Structure 1
Amino acid sequence: MSGGDLKVSGLPIEMIRTADLRAQQTLVSQDTYIFSLTLADNIALARPDASREDIEQAAHGACLDHLLADNGSDLSEGQRQRVALARAFLSPAPFALLDDPTSRII
């Protein structure tokens, strides 16, 4: 298939600066990096000023209830993906790009 127009919020993609577009999106990929922080801090990377309640709602939305060991080493790949989903739920970005983020969630 070829041809056609790609628009974002009604604007042709060619009229949108890449930096502006990236500022409006969040990415959830198959591979999720877990930092040596608390679970709440890992989720809050998406929005550092988030309240504890907002973080808990994002974790709940991702079906995530777990305490972290060092670097999240005790998390399964599926649990890591849930952290990435919780980050996306917390993000203020209006667009979410999902790269098969539930491939390892059972």
Structure 2
Amino acid sequence: MTDAAKPSLRRFIDSLGGGSTMVIFIRTAVAMPGKIPQLMIYAKEMQALIKKVIGVEVAVGLRLGGNAAEVCWSANYDSLAQVQDVSTKLMTDAAYVAQLGKGADLIVAESVHDQIWLGF
């Protein structure tokens, strides 16, 4: 494929000297008042379980600016298809689904948000 035939986003990424892209999945959640330490423990437990179930290294973070009660999990993938495969595998794993329920009293209702980013 000639450079002129490449989609413009692909040409832009290539122009940055990269060419290699990844998909970054980020999930954020806000701790209930007074529950930040417990949510961080839960976040680390989820991190370990995800590694066990799907073999993916997930990073855990605590927001430094803005809402200091916000926690995130993030992981890098090769494609959107891989994100979908991982999600399906997790949601069909009984231990993962059970662990999700254990965090309900630590997280503000409707504060969980997912983002998918293109990294290069």
Task: State whether TM-score is above 0.5.
Answer: no
TM-score, structure 2 as length reference? 0.27
Which protein has the larger Cα radius of gyration, Structure 1 or Structure 2? 2
TM-score, structure 1 as length reference? 0.29
